[in-house]
Every structure is written in C-alpha cells, then in structure tokens.
Structure 1
Amino acid sequence: MSVKVVITRDQGMALLRLEMNANLFLRDPQETDLGRKIIDQSIRMIDELGLEAFTFKKLSKEIDSTEASIYRYFENKHKLLVYLIAWYWSWLEYRIDFETHNVNAPLDRLAIALRLVTEQKAYDNSFPSVDESALQRIITNESDKTYLTKQVDSDNKEGLFRGFKSLCTRIAEIILEINPDYKYAHSLVSTALQAAHHQVFFAEHLPTLTNHKFSAGKVHQQNYEFLLDLIKKAIKV
C-alpha cells in the first residue's frame, strides 16, 4: 500500500493510524489524547459552524482545554483544515488500496475506487477519533479553501497537498492500465475528484448546475454513475 498505516491495539481492538506529512502539524495529534480530542471536536464544529465561524477559542471550550494547548498542535485553523482534508484523502487511498488489492481487472478496480470516492461515508471504527461522515461534508463545503489562497505555492512546497496528489496518481495509474494511450489521466482524475464533491454541493445548494437530486442516498449513487460514465467515455471503454 502507498499509504503508510500504523496498527495499534486498545482493549483488544485493532486501531489504525495514518502516517501524515510532518509539515501538516506542529505536534502529531494522533499521538496524544488531547490531540485526538482536537481532531474529533474540530471536525464536529467545522461541520456544524463552517470554517469562518470556527475558532480555536470555541474549540478550547468544547474540549475543556486552552487555546495555547491547541496552538501547540496547529499554528492556525487553516493548517488544521489542511490537515483534516489531507487525512481524508489519505484515508480514501488506504481504503482503495485495501479493497482493490486482490482485484485483477483494472476496470473493476476503477469502479471500486469511484464507489469509495463517491459513496456516503459511514463511521470507520478503526479510526475512532474521526467522524468520516462529518469529514465528508467538510470536504464538500470547505476543501477548496485549502488551496485557493495566496500561500498555495509555499504550502505545496511543504507537501501539504500530497494526500490529494497521491490519490490522483493512484487512480490515474488504473486508468492508464485500461488505456495506456490516454493522454490526460491526471487531468481527468483531478477533475473527477473535484466533481465528486462539487456536484453534491450543487445538488444541495445550486440545483440548476447539476442533474443530481439531493435526497437521501440518491445523490451519491448518481454521482458514482456520472463519474464512472464520464471516465469510461473519456478513455473510450
């Protein structure tokens, strides 16, 4: 697997920890109880309040700690958001690697990858400090804010977008297995991954921009069918 995973045990249960780029944090939040609390509660609060209304002061009250203690892990809320988004993409790549490991046909692996990207997320108890369903909503509503900034180039040099780029490469490699002559594999995949959350956002808030219908379960299935159709037609299979 391309994503490095550390296995730990807690009361007999196997727990997993994704190894993240050290430039994403000042102190790894996965290594301490307080760090895990910061991750857990910040996901819930950003999901509920939005990034603009979310502050470390509000977070400190929710976790019964101090702002100073949070700043020991993340220098600001932008870096915290970048960490959460990067974790999500790495988690998705881990799941794609795991579920396609013994699947030989590249077209089948592509379908599995797109299903995992688009499906409505449920809680993954292997990562107890992360609410993946709430984090998926943050991806939909907030992820563009991680790179539509003046410091995008310096953030990129620090490798802060490595999770997204690695996931794009992973799926692009599958596409090139199907059609080695296709010239735009990375462009197609990055567009599809963006569409995976843009179309859900449009269905909920700007419905005239999509054919998807925002209703329980339907929008994610429609998104899967749309992206699979888009990619298969683009690569001519």
Structure 2
Amino acid sequence: MEKLLQTVRITINDKLYVKDPESSDLGKRIIRESIKMIYEIGFESFTFKKLGTRIGSNESSIYRYFENKHKLLLYLASWYWGWLEYQLVFATNSIPDARLKLQSAIEIMTQPTEIDTAFTHIDEVMLNKIVINEYSKSYLTKEVDQENKEGYFVIYKRLVNRMSTMIKEVKPSYPYPSSLASCLLEGALHQYFLMDHFNSLTDCSIKNTPTAYFKHLVFNALND
C-alpha cells in the first residue's frame, strides 16, 4: 500500500507553469523552498529574487518554471486541493453508507493537516497554513473570470462538486448542496484563520474542533 501511495502524482493545469517543476530536482527545490518562504514571510514579501538567493540559483532560473509569483501561488493552491481530493477519494471510495461517507469526507476536509510521506518535497502542514492565509489572494483579482475560463480553479471546483454529490446522496431534496459544500471548504479555512488570529470571533478551538462544528452544521442542515 505504501508503494502504491508513493506513485500518486497530483496533476496540475499546465497553463500554471512554463516548465513542470515536478520534472527536475531544481523544480522540486523551487516548490519546497517557496512553500517555506511564503510560510515564513508571507506572499506579499515573497519574491523570486529572494527565492533565488535562498536556493542558490539565478532569479531567471525560477522564471523558466513560473511566469510570476501569482501563478506559483495558484500552482501551490491547486496542488493542495488536489492532495485533499486524493485523500478524499481514497478514504471514502469503499464506504457504502451515504451518511458515513459524508462524515468521513467532512473529517478529511476540516481536520488538522499532517505530513504526508508520499510527497517528500512538499511540507503539507506549511502549505495548509499558506492556503489558510493566502488562498483568497489567488482569486480576488480582476483576472479571476479569465483565469477560471483557463481552468486554473478546476481542482478546487471538482472538490466542491464531489462534496456536493455526497450531500445530495444523503438528502436528494436538499436545495443547496453546492452552496453547503463550498461553505464547508471555505469555512474550514476561515475557522482555522480565526483560531490563529481572532479567536474571540470563533467558538472553535483545539478541543472544540472545526471538524465537530462542520459535522454539526452540515447534518443539522440535512436533517431539517
């Protein structure tokens, strides 16, 4: 099983990169160190020049992989959502009961992130923090509609659709499955952000987890 998981590859829209960073050691180093730098200093302060200094390579070598740091952020976010999707499919595929499947899916989408040894050049814990803090910057732009047409958000949309389908399997008559699914994904990020920065604005905590909150929210909505 471990060998099987090590062969998993997250497929990203090739319009997000100039050269596939998974195709070389330098590309993987760019991904690994960019995650560390964005985690440490934030996306606004992050530059390819700083990254080049960190990895001991020319700034121009990074541009051979990514056109700009916006597309790098989109790549990292897409990888994160693709990684969650593979976990979701793997964990729920053999569960026949619709409610148990949805419950497992909510746990996958909302639980604290742990390191996945199948991807040695990606620190999933740091990447999760980047998505929590920076993901909205990838789509709150004037170019979002065109980027959506280009398929930049297809993995995220596919993940929402998977959750929506599971919600409909539990209650086919529920009128807002996509809204509830997107609320779950975005809401989980927001609750973790509030826990880290504005804890007076949330009831979630280490003991009273976002997972417990979203199970309560989703199943109460479906039980009405």
Deviation for aligned residue 1:127: 1.0
In the aligned structure 1, how far is the partner of 2:179 from the partner of 2:83? 22
Whether contact under 8 Å (2:204, 2:213) holds in the other structure is no
In the aligned structure 1, how far is the partner of 2:8 from the partner of 2:167? 29
Q: Determine the structure 1 residue equivalent to 2:154.
A: 162
Q: Determine the structure 1 residue equivalent to 2:182.
A: 190
In the aligned structure 1, how far is the partner of 2:88 from the partner of 2:6? 19
In the aligned structure 2, how far is the partner of 1:107 from the partner of 1:87? 28
Alignment of 1:63-78 (within 5 A): 63-78=55-70
Q: What amino acid is the match of 2:218? A: I
Q: Determine the structure 2 residue equivalent to 1:124.
A: 116
Whether contact under 8 Å (1:121, 1:133) holds in the other structure is yes
Q: Determine the structure 2 residue equivalent to 1:95.
A: 87
Q: Report the more deviating stretch, 149-158 or 113-122.
A: 113-122
In the aligned structure 1, how far is the partner of 2:79 from the partner of 2:100? 25
Quote the sequence identity (%): 43
The total of aligned residue pairs comes to 222
2:53 pairs, out of 54, 57, 61, with: 61
Q: Determine the structure 1 residue equivalent to 2:101.
A: 109
In the aligned structure 2, how far is the partner of 1:69 from the partner of 1:190? 37
Deviation for aligned residue 1:35: 0.8
Q: Which has the higher helix share?
A: 2
Q: Determine the structure 1 residue equivalent to 2:216.
A: 229
Deviation for aligned residue 1:233: 1.1
RMSD: 1.6
Superposition misfits of 4+ residues, deviation over 2 angstroms: 13-16
Instruction: Provide structure 2 residue ranges, at least 5 long, that are not aligned to the other structure.
Output: none
SS at structure 1 position matched to 2:223: coil
Deviation for aligned residue 1:15: 3.9
Under a length normalisation based on structure 2, what TM-score does the superposition of the two structures give?
0.95
Q: Which has the higher strand share?
A: 1
Instruction: Provide structure 1 residue ranges, at least 5 long, that are not aligned to the other structure.
Output: 1-8
SS at structure 2 position matched to 1:121: coil
SS at structure 1 position matched to 2:9: strand
Q: What amino acid is the match of 2:153? A: F
Deviation for aligned residue 1:55: 0.6
Deviation for aligned residue 1:154: 1.1
1:140 pairs, out of 132, 135, 146, with: 132
Whether contact under 8 Å (1:121, 1:132) holds in the other structure is yes
Deviation for aligned residue 1:195: 0.7
SS at structure 1 position matched to 2:118: coil
In the aligned structure 1, how far is the partner of 2:28 from the partner of 2:152? 20
1:207 pairs, out of 195, 199, 204, with: 199
Q: What amino acid is the match of 2:98? A: P
In the aligned structure 2, how far is the partner of 1:73 from the partner of 1:198? 31
Whether contact under 8 Å (1:15, 1:127) holds in the other structure is no
